[in-house]
Structure 1
Amino acid sequence: MKYLNHFLRLGLLLIIVSCNRDKNNSNSYPQLLWYEQAASVWEEALPIGNGRIGAMVFGNPINERIQLNDDSLWPKNLGWDHPEGTPEDLANIRRLLVQGYHTAVDSLLVEKFSNKTVVRSHQTLGNLFINLQHDVATEYQRSLKLNEAITSVKYKFEGYKVTQDAFVSAPDQLLIISLKSEHPNGLNGIIHLSRPKDKGVATTKTFTKKGCLIMEGEVTQREGAFNSKSNPILEGVQFQTIVQPNHHGGTVKTVEDGIELKGVKEIELRIVSNSSYYHKNYKSENINQLSEVQNYSFEDLKGRHVRDHQMLYNRVNFDIITDNKLQTIPTDKRLKAIKEGTVDLELQETLFHFGRYLLIASSRPSTLPANLQGLWNPHINAPWNSDYHLNINLQMNYWLANLTQLDELNSPLFDFIDRLIINGRTTAKKNFGVRGSFLPHATDIWTPTWLRAPTAYWGASFGAGGWMIQHYWQHYLFTNDIEFLKTRAFPAMEAVAQFYSDWIIEDKRDGTLIAAPSTSPENRYLDTNGNPVASCLGSAMDQQVITEVFTNYLKAAKILNHKDNLIGIVKQQLMRLRTGFQLGSDGRILEWDREYPEYEPGHRHMSHLYGFHPGDQISLSKTPKLFDAVRKTLEYRLKNGGAGTGWSRAWLINCAARLIDGVMAQEHIQLLFEKSIFSNLFDAHPPFQIDGNFGYTAGVAELLVQSHEPGIIRVLPALPPNWKNGMVKGIKARGNIQVDLKWEWNELKHLQLISKSDTQTDIVYKEKNFRVKLKANIPYELKI
């Protein structure tokens, strides 16, 4: 009866909307977010971006706020030094660990090797305010077209139509806002820029010059901290933002710190913003960017922007075919209905596209990679500094890139990790006395590689480097780009393999090789005295990561015919590595080196399943016992409250896909929407973290197509039962093979493969296996 009531309410909404709304065709387009009121809080605003510049559009017709971001706005790199820890300290920690003094080891790891609490945050650029003399807006609608990357606001003032469109152009590197009014009195009001103060101190000055509104400033962090001590940072990246108005009808004039509109029929704001991080002469860069587009009309700029966006966005199409027309209901009302029990398949489809949209908007070549909040951050002191966490979050941000044919959007990630690897060589040598490169669990724009965090369970993580290197290898597998493997991937893989080769030690208990000290990201177990501790002798994740690093390093070396002494050493070490898949008494995979009591059995991280996903060390056909152990491990985690954050639930959906379990995936897709999605479809940790958005999109792709098993492409391996009819086009399988498929009533009806090279592969659908030979760029249709 409860679900019947929900559907009746939705049906009534459909009737009301159909009868009372003069809808555009776009309202029924499934790749659209739309609302009947302006955003009242930041999590309701709509995101746009070009990788470097981002904006959150609130759509308020009277006091419009457009919150602005630049991915490079950070306080200064003060050259903070490495902690004092030495190789001798590491040797002492290992002795204590072997003797079972885990609490002491946790303390020493922080005391000797961590810079403890560090506050140095990515910051907001500020806000653009458009204050118009409207009292009441009627017939209001705001929207975001994912396939065009344009936000729109439409309403009537005193019966006359007013519109606002906004987008951030990648080809022209500027934010464009267009406002039009059919009212006889036009648009009247004022436009101004501002930036939140840093602990009460202004960091910008705003003025007008040559008809433009200009804001200049420098990032500071008066609440900065280093080594758990107050450390105000009074210098940082410098920046300048220019608002250039172009209008038709009425008058536009600059006032002391704003732009005044009187009787304006149309106005276009061209906004450029550059920083000293990217350009020494960042102010000149702003002038150059405005000059380069001076001969382009709004429609020219819009067309260039849309073509650029669709060049990436249109590579994939995905449609869950239903008889429902819930897209005629505003997005926030649909989410409310979901939280009350409604199943909205079309919004599940939209969230998949939204993840692709967000990556296109937050990660472009020559920008910084998407951080914890992607590109969108309204704070001076952001949650978790809006930094780069390497113990799942940054990696999850990019799981979807190759799967959805957005290969080039990996470029900022590789550029960033390459810089980390350079600095990580210093950390490895100075602190640990080993070769190769060490990557920490968290870092920032300046790529320091020292440990940070006041506790061992949070910051003493040693598997991050191997996890990041997985992306280089996977990018090669998806693209078959041998030049990338040779010049970018292999040097990075070799640096991290060298570190782990020197890092591992012999476990005297059984003669195997282990990582020591070792932790499982952000989790703890109980020692014999009942105290929560983090350190152990070879956690499951670290052992799995090192196994993967060594295995892939050897594969890459063979492909490149690379000769080096390290190859022989790694081969021998790989044979002696303790497995990362030890089973406990109940058949679950152990998270640590022994079967300890768990401090938080429902922990959000599922790090001991790394080798299952995103790794490829477990499969139903090759390791059935471990495959079953994965399910037991997940069931136990969930029974104790696991997957409580948005990104954790998204990871679980990916695991359900690998378990070939569409029923499990269906359940957790619904729970993700019920518990962890804001009204603008941002993922809720809470607060907002973008990784869950990206992880969901990757998970949906894996429900439809999987290729992590060598030489095998699985189609519809974990189709949710309620996705009865649908199609997907453009999913990429490893080997650079595009997969297009259609299903009806949960059965595959059409499959087409397009390979970029001559190859052969096995296609697996349910219990059927087909060996197919593919010719380069010639579509191959498989008859089922």
Structure 2
Amino acid sequence: MGIKASGIVLGTWLALATIAPANERYVLQYDAPAKDNLLNPTKGKPKGHGYIQTALPIGNGRLGAMFSGGVETEHLLINDITLWMNSKRGMDETAQSGTRKVAPEDLETVRQAYRDGKYGTKPGSMESVSTKHLSSTEPLGNYAPFSDLMISTGHDPASVRDYHRSLDSRTGLGTVRYWIGDNQFTREFFCSYPHDVVAVRYTSDDAKLNLTIQTTTKHKDSEVKAADNRIILSGKAKMVQDDIEFMQIVQIDAGDAEVSPQDDGSIKISNASDVKVYLAGYCDYLPVYPSFKGREYQADCEKTIATASTLGWDSLRKSHIDDVSSILDRCRLELGFKPSGLTTDKLVSGDGSLELENLYFHYSRYLQLSCSRGAPVPSNLQGLWNADLKPAWNCDYHTDINVQMNYWMVDAANQSESFRPFVEWTKILAESGSHTARETFGIHQGWSVGLNGNVFGFTAQNVHGRRNQQAGHWLCQNLFDHYAFTQDQAYLEEIYPILKGAAEFFVEFLAPWKDGTLVVYPTWSPENTYLSKEYGKLNKQAYGASWDQQLVLNLFTDCIEASTVLGRDEAFREVLQEIIPKLCPQKIGQYGQLQEWPEDWDNPKDTHRHISHLIALHPGRDISPLTTKELHEAALVTMKHRGDQSTGWSTGWKTCFWSRLHNGDRAHKIYRFLTSKRAYPNLFDFHPPFQIDGNFGGAAGVCEMLLQSHLRSVNADATTIQDAAFVAYEQDPKQSNHFAPVVPDETIATAPYILHLLPALPSAWPSGKINGLKARGGTEVDIQWQDGQLIQATIRANQDAKFRVYAQGKLSEVISLDKGTSTIWPPTR
């Protein structure tokens, strides 16, 4: 019987396989080099797309590069994700947090301005007093480029034919090929995680290669020397306190060719047929608070280059491909389409296609692995790749969605390795944030973090009072969700102090409002304005913003579960359970919308890119069409007000929102807009400028269309999902537009997750297949569908697991699987 079902599916997929060969699903390809405005910069902003928008990225999570494919000169931009500048390190523990010491009476002055409703920006307003008393004056700094590697060929671009430039997002291999006369020239690029090097190879058929290799850096305090077959770059990135030192070694293997070091630090290679280049680079950064230094970066460079040179190209290449493909092959999307034969830039310039949507998903997974793995800090606003000494928004860590969005897809798309840098960084924030909690807010338990972060533990309030906020609850949502997917109790032990510390802060920070309910303030609703006609477009400071309240409930619930699973802190658990009913309720406003603030200030003409008050819909789990009808309908009104088109990351979030609202066609419409109108030629997200969170938000949206697992079954005997699922908000019998938080008891810790199959399948994807999606509760799911209907799902247990399946309107009983076993849905007869 199982064989029969599998045979049906196999026949379907043999047909699909003839439509779209696997190699064409994953490869970005072009018939021209990147536009290298960095090699020959012009004054002012460059017109059209430039290097960052057209070059192709490689990376291993810490070390990264982009290659241009230039015929005459190949330009590789090199980045190290820990290299920052213009900040401070090595201060005392309190000062390193960047916090401002606030006297109790000054904090009370700030809060009184909120209680008195001092809106606007005039003296005495909430913003002005927050800026005066709370905001840090310490420098955040910015992410910095590392170096540039140029390899000149002497080839005339006009003489080239059949040019091809590509990046295989399955293997992480970049390729350039072209012909001059009867000779083919080939280059290959990769960035190895196992051996921590950028590797480049030049080959030719019969013609000889005459190359010049040189490296530069934008940092003024630097030196380049060439000797034998090696170029060494050393330098310093300027800091306000304690410059960061760095080093790069470029090792050249040109076989029997002539290798000539030059006085300017370059190397000339003559009469070669095969040239291999290995690059290693490190800085002295270590994630040790508060010094943030100590890496033996010079010794690491020498050791890495020595290992790479000993192993050689073939061994390095094989280990790289095996490493990358073993992770990226876990999850594969296959939509039914006929390959167009178009280059990727032409795909993007069209009106969208299944081919582009399929490629974008896989490329986003590749980007995730390339910019977040094995590093002590997470991917930033541009992931890993930055060419500017003064990048947009500092290329920093914005905690009002951006760094969180970077990690939404990690577990669902089955690449949990990429999450570790987020964990390591949050550990530093919790340590540093304890000083901010104490010095700025007078809270001696727990930790606090504001809007902007860096790699040096900056947790202070932003320089502008209108941007003051707390973000520990949102960061912790990502931390706990990783546990929900993995069910790794050792990991839960590791992060529990961070979760508890964030909750401890809010236990003390929450304060009663006019109606006696507890709210977060000072705060804002990122990055939106209210009562703008009365008080101006910068009137943003508020109290009890809905996103804060939703995330506090989320955090407290997660702490209750974590403490229960770990068998500790029963008294603290009871404190949280006592506070939850006192939290300000969620409210439905005069237009039927979910209110963004506790006051009904929403404007139906507001199309702001942030929709933070729907966090309980996504990435939270507390609003659902299946369990909270009234809140679901209010969320629909809000989404209608905000519209479909926006910046790249906002478009990615809207894809997730509509997926959680179970409107697959609307989700797909927005995903198509993201992939065709909010993507550069190299598929980097178009904010503008480039900002990588849109790539990751879009991929997360694809996962949400095909599988959702955020609901919990707390009633094993219930036969409908409405009766089975835990509901976090209940309607107030006295005020029908108010929805009060629900106190979870300890049974939430053992409640099975509900696996909702194809919850938002778009009609534009009538037939398809996805393998290796991960679900909360520790399972992995393959799903196949045809003519818009589920054909079969295979559910595998990565550890002992209990779950329920919801598909085609029906809820299964609780299913138990032992680790390593699987089941098929619907069950075969």
TM (norm. structure 1) is 0.90
Alignment size in residue pairs:
729
Matched residue type, 1:773: S
* Aligned twin of 2:149: 128
* Aligned twin of 1:262: 270
Q: SS state of the match for residue 456, structure 2?
A: coil
Deviates further, 619-628 or 558-567: 558-567
Report deviation, 1:158.
2.4
| 8 Å Cα contact 1:52-1:362 kept in structure 2 | yes
How far apart are the structure 1 equivalents of 2:604 and 2:400?
19
Report deviation, 1:568.
2.5
Residue 152 (str. 1) matches residue 175 (str. 2): yes
Render the CA deviation track for 1:95-150: whole Å, top value 9, x for unaligned: 22112112311111111111258451111112111111111221100000011101
Residue 205 (str. 1) matches residue 223 (str. 2): yes
1:192-271 map, 5 Å: 192-196=214-218, 202-220=220-238, 233=240, 235-256=242-263, 257-271=265-279
* Aligned twin of 1:56: 66
1:81-92 map, 5 Å: 81-92=98-109
* Aligned twin of 1:325: 339
Of 189, 201, 221, the residue aligned with 2:211 is 189
* Aligned twin of 2:780: 738
How far apart are the structure 2 equivalents of 1:250 and 1:528?
72
Report deviation, 1:395.
0.5
Identity %: 29
Report deviation, 1:357.
0.4
* Aligned twin of 1:626: 631
* Aligned twin of 1:9: none
| 8 Å Cα contact 1:218-1:235 kept in structure 2 | no
Q: SS state of the match for residue 84, structure 2?
A: coil
Of 471, 484, 491, the residue aligned with 2:478 is 471
| 8 Å Cα contact 2:777-2:802 kept in structure 1 | no
Render the CA deviation track for 1:311-338: whole Å, top value 9, x for unaligned: 211111110012x222x21100111122
Deviates further, 358-367 or 394-403: 358-367
* Aligned twin of 1:391: 400
Residue 99 (str. 1) matches residue 141 (str. 2): no
Q: SS state of the match for residue 206, structure 1?
A: strand
How far apart are the structure 2 equivalents of 1:425 and 1:599?
40
Residue 381 (str. 1) matches residue 390 (str. 2): yes
The 1:568/1:513 distance shift into structure 2, 3 A limit, reads same
1:24-103 map, 5 Å: 29-40=24-35, 41-42=50-51, 43-75=53-85, 76-78=87-89, 79=91, 81-103=98-120
How far apart are the structure 2 equivalents of 1:527 and 1:566?
41
* Aligned twin of 1:656: 658
* Aligned twin of 1:779: 822
Deviates further, 53-62 or 618-627: 618-627
1:273-352 map, 5 Å: 273-278=281-286, 280-322=295-337, 324-326=338-340, 328-338=341-351, 343-352=352-361
* Aligned twin of 1:691: 693
Q: SS state of the match for residue 130, structure 1?
A: strand
Cα root mean square deviation, aligned: 1.8
The 1:89/1:310 distance shift into structure 2, 3 A limit, reads same
Report deviation, 1:415.
0.5
* Aligned twin of 1:20: none
The 1:357/1:528 distance shift into structure 2, 3 A limit, reads closer
How far apart are the structure 2 equivalents of 1:781 and 1:543?
40
How far apart are the structure 2 equivalents of 1:490 and 1:600?
42
| 8 Å Cα contact 1:239-1:276 kept in structure 2 | yes
How far apart are the structure 1 equivalents of 2:438 and 2:535?
36
Report deviation, 1:549.
1.1
Residue 370 (str. 1) matches residue 379 (str. 2): yes
How far apart are the structure 2 equivalents of 1:244 and 1:120?
32
Report deviation, 1:779.
1.9
How far apart are the structure 2 equivalents of 1:266 and 1:133?
16
| 8 Å Cα contact 1:524-1:599 kept in structure 2 | no
Deviates further, 520-529 or 93-102: 520-529
| 8 Å Cα contact 1:527-1:596 kept in structure 2 | no
Report deviation, 1:531.
3.1
Matched residue type, 1:330: T
How far apart are the structure 1 equivalents of 2:522 and 2:192?
47
How far apart are the structure 1 equivalents of 2:140 and 2:478?
28
Render the CA deviation track for 1:472-516: whole Å, top value 9, x for unaligned: 211111111112112x22111100000000001111x22211112
Report deviation, 1:28.
5.5
| 8 Å Cα contact 1:117-1:452 kept in structure 2 | no
Residue 537 (str. 1) matches residue 554 (str. 2): no
* Aligned twin of 2:790: 748
Report deviation, 1:236.
2.3
The 1:280/1:712 distance shift into structure 2, 3 A limit, reads closer
Q: SS state of the match for residue 587, structure 2?
A: coil
Matched residue type, 1:124: P
Report deviation, 1:309.
0.8
Report deviation, 1:84.
4.0
Report deviation, 1:373.
0.6
Report deviation, 1:210.
3.6
Report deviation, 1:283.
1.1
Render the CA deviation track for 1:235-277: whole Å, top value 9, x for unaligned: 5211111111101353122112101021111100011111111
| 8 Å Cα contact 2:69-2:165 kept in structure 1 | yes
* Aligned twin of 2:448: 438
How far apart are the structure 1 equivalents of 2:452 and 2:576?
27
Q: SS state of the match for residue 523, structure 2?
A: coil
Deviates further, 443-452 or 764-773: 764-773
* Aligned twin of 1:577: 583
How far apart are the structure 1 equivalents of 2:581 and 2:610?
28
Report deviation, 1:59.
0.3
How far apart are the structure 1 equivalents of 2:670 and 2:533?
36
TM (norm. structure 2) is 0.85
| 8 Å Cα contact 1:394-1:691 kept in structure 2 | yes
Report deviation, 1:82.
2.4
Structure 2, unpaired ranges of 5+: 1-19, 36-49, 287-293, 713-752
* Aligned twin of 1:138: 161
Q: SS state of the match for residue 438, structure 2?
A: helix
How far apart are the structure 2 equivalents of 1:757 and 1:132?
54
The 1:377/1:354 distance shift into structure 2, 3 A limit, reads same
* Aligned twin of 1:723: 765
How far apart are the structure 1 equivalents of 2:226 and 2:116?
69
Report deviation, 1:566.
2.8
The 1:172/1:528 distance shift into structure 2, 3 A limit, reads closer
1:601-620 map, 5 Å: 601-620=606-625
| 8 Å Cα contact 2:166-2:175 kept in structure 1 | yes
How far apart are the structure 2 equivalents of 1:347 and 1:39?
20
Q: SS state of the match for residue 591, structure 1?
A: coil
Report deviation, 1:27.
9.7
Report deviation, 1:528.
8.1
Q: SS state of the match for residue 439, structure 1?
A: coil
Report deviation, 1:153.
0.1
Deviates further, 172-181 or 281-290: 281-290
How far apart are the structure 1 equivalents of 2:101 and 2:497?
28
| 8 Å Cα contact 2:109-2:129 kept in structure 1 | no
Q: SS state of the match for residue 617, structure 1?
A: coil
Matched residue type, 2:163: Y
